[in-house]
Amino acid sequence: MSPAGRVACRGFSSSASLPKRKWDAVVVGGGHNGLTSAAYLARAGLEVAVLEKRHVIGGAAVTEEIVPGFRFSRCSYLQSLLRPSLIRELELGRHGLKLLKRNPSSFTPCLDGRYLLLGPDSDLNHSEISKFSARDALSYPRYEKQLETFSVFMDSLLDTPTPEINHSDLPFTSQMKDKLQKSAFWFRCLREAVQLGQKDSLDFMELLVSPASKILNNWFESDVLKATLATDAVIGSTASVHTPGSGYVLLHHVMGESGGDRGVWSYVEGGMGSVSLAIANAAREAGAHILTNTEVSQLMVDQSSVVTGVVLADGTEVNSSIVLSNATPYRTFVEFIPENILPDEFLSGIKNSDYSSATTKINLAVDKLPLFQCCKSALSQSGPEHVGTIHIGSESMEEIDMACRDALNGLPSARPVIEMTIPSVLDKTISPPGKHVINLFIQYTPYELARGSWEETSIRESFAQRCFSLIDEYAPGFSSSVIGYEMLAPPDLEREFGLTGGNIFHGAMHLDSIFLMRPVKGWSAYRTPVKGLYLCGSGAHPGGGVMGAPGRNAAHVVLQDVKKSAAT
């Protein structure tokens, strides 16, 4: 185990030390959502066990030492979506969470020698955008204000379970209470829609259903600005900027906040594993048992479709009448549950959901910062261009679309869309002095290749070098600074982290797979057709990203059901 792994695992047990008892609740998977559920359930007095397959907790929000001396956020790499209510209620600051805000937050270099910086500083934004378009510089604050308005509208949807239909037989009084709660939900939505006003409501609907390209073309004229903003609409998906509904994905990635600042993304000191570790510390303080190296192979379900616990890979049975799965919907319902248990319609919906991925993550250790030609800097110290997300290969939306078309034909993009981040510029705990950690989040790379396989070393190395060479066009000499790297193509993300299809959101975030449709129609409120089994990961409402909302909401639903059960 790497040194970073030892740090992250400190205080966590293996399956050999699992107490022999019937647990009040068992959580399958120690990702940030599973840990969140465990924390809330333990705080409510339940005996909870979290079972994590890997040697380190965190799922996709994890810090590991891949190159000696360099600690990487191996999958997720930025924080903004983590719900403020969760941070506050679990006191994550007290448990070690430290956010490092980025200003500026975005840098787009151009091959013609220009560049665009963006961030929370409105004066900087106006000055930078004016280099490309005076009109866009005036429009940008109004664009940000509208997205902020929509984000406020979304807040209540994110922090509450969906008003799903009830699948169980309830006494008359419980039925009426359930109907009143759902009516209150819809009345609140209607009231907030009225407060938006007709124009903003129509604009909101347009954003939800439209291609991101249409939305951005309506607002702006500068290619570089539109392309920079458009990356938020396609990140983690197989969609193009011209795909209907990609406007919602854009909103999803800007509706978070960092330290109270809307739309601001932060690094986390110690890497993204520090998010998971802070949540785990809160859970353990409340009494939760968190075990690593503990792989679940199957869920135990009786003849009445009631969950009775889980079976570990070594054959050990862990008994519980409540199980929460932080695994993807596909793994939960297709791989973990025995056959002939689930309704055919439900199982068909799970199998036919979109788990496709076009994402590759490359984690690099480098011996110096990239020097971008457009900045005409020859210094080794960091500048504003190194602080935020660096957009490589996306100077226009058409470039992004062309990269997507390659992947749709089974080919890794000839000119990939790359989001480069250098967290070690602000976080001095993750790399040796004078050296740096670099994250490359890359699109588009299909799960299955038309020619060859990601298992072939030559194909992997060829694509990695293609990415490095593209960066060389903007920062000459970058390739020579690489000390070592790790590449995670979609099949690697699936194998290593259990992400079906390599999809970082546990399933696509299309309009047909969010809110009441997530994970499938009729089962959006965390409960499942198996009584006592709940879904608490990103495949549940409100979706992907290091948000914690699925885990928090699922725990509240479990506690409601426990309370009802105790009252009968």
Cα-based torsion angle of the residue sequence 217, 220, 221, 226 in order, rounded to the nearest 10 degrees: -70
Closest by CA position to 106, among listed 385, 374, 323:
385
Residue-level pLDDT at 433: 95
CATH number at residue 518: 3.50.50.60
Please confirm whether the linkage preceding 104 is cis (ω < 30° from 0): yes
Residue-level pLDDT at 23: 97
CA distances from 226 to 394, 420, 447 (A): 10, 18, 28
Contact in structure between 217 and 226 (CB atoms under 8 Å) = yes
From its phi and psi, is residue 245 left (phi > 0), alpha (psi between -120 and 50) or beta?
Answer: left
Residue-level pLDDT at 190: 86
Domain boundary among 478, 505, 532: 505
56 and 107 assigned to the same domain: no
249 and 328 assigned to the same domain: no
- Residues whose CB is less than 8 angstroms from the CB of residue 93 and which lie 6 or more positions away in sequence, other chains included: 87
124 and 219 assigned to the same domain: yes
Residue-level pLDDT at 170: 65
468 and 321 assigned to the same domain: no
From its phi and psi, is residue 430 left (phi > 0), alpha (psi between -120 and 50) or beta?
Answer: alpha
152 and 77 assigned to the same domain: no
Domain boundary among 463, 483, 505: 505
316 and 360 assigned to the same domain: no
Question: Going residue by residue through the chain (568 aa), what tens digit of pLDDT does each one get?
Answer: 333 333 343 446 665 578 788 999 999 999 999 999 999 999 999 999 999 999 999 999 999 999 999 999 999 999 999 999 999 999 999 999 999 999 999 999 999 999 999 999 999 999 999 999 999 999 999 999 999 999 988 988 899 999 988 777 667 677 777 788 888 888 888 888 888 899 999 999 999 999 999 999 999 999 999 999 999 999 988 999 999 999 998 998 888 888 778 878 999 999 999 999 999 999 999 999 999 999 999 999 999 999 999 999 999 999 999 999 999 999 999 999 999 999 999 999 999 999 999 999 999 999 999 999 999 766 678 999 999 999 998 899 999 999 999 999 999 999 999 999 999 999 999 999 999 999 999 999 999 999 999 999 999 999 999 999 999 999 999 999 999 999 999 999 999 999 999 999 999 999 999 999 999 999 999 999 999 999 999 999 999 999 999 999 999 999 999 998 887 7
224 and 371 assigned to the same domain: yes
- Residues whose CB is less than 8 angstroms from the CB of residue 449 and which lie 6 or more positions away in sequence, other chains included: 410, 411, 412, 459
260 and 362 assigned to the same domain: yes
Domain boundary among 505, 526, 552: 505
- Alpha carbons 274 and 32: distance in angstroms, whole number: 10
219 and 317 assigned to the same domain: no
Contact in structure between 33 and 536 (CB atoms under 8 Å) = yes
Q: Collapsing DSSP states into helix, strand and coil, what is residue 273?
A: helix
How much is the pTM? 0.94
What single DSSP character describes residue 409? Answer: T
- Alpha carbons 114 and 133: distance in angstroms, whole number: 13
Give the chain's domain count.
Answer: 2
Domain that residue 372 falls in: 103-264+354-505
| Termini Cα distance of the chain | 49
380 and 451 assigned to the same domain: yes
310 and 225 assigned to the same domain: no
120 and 196 assigned to the same domain: yes
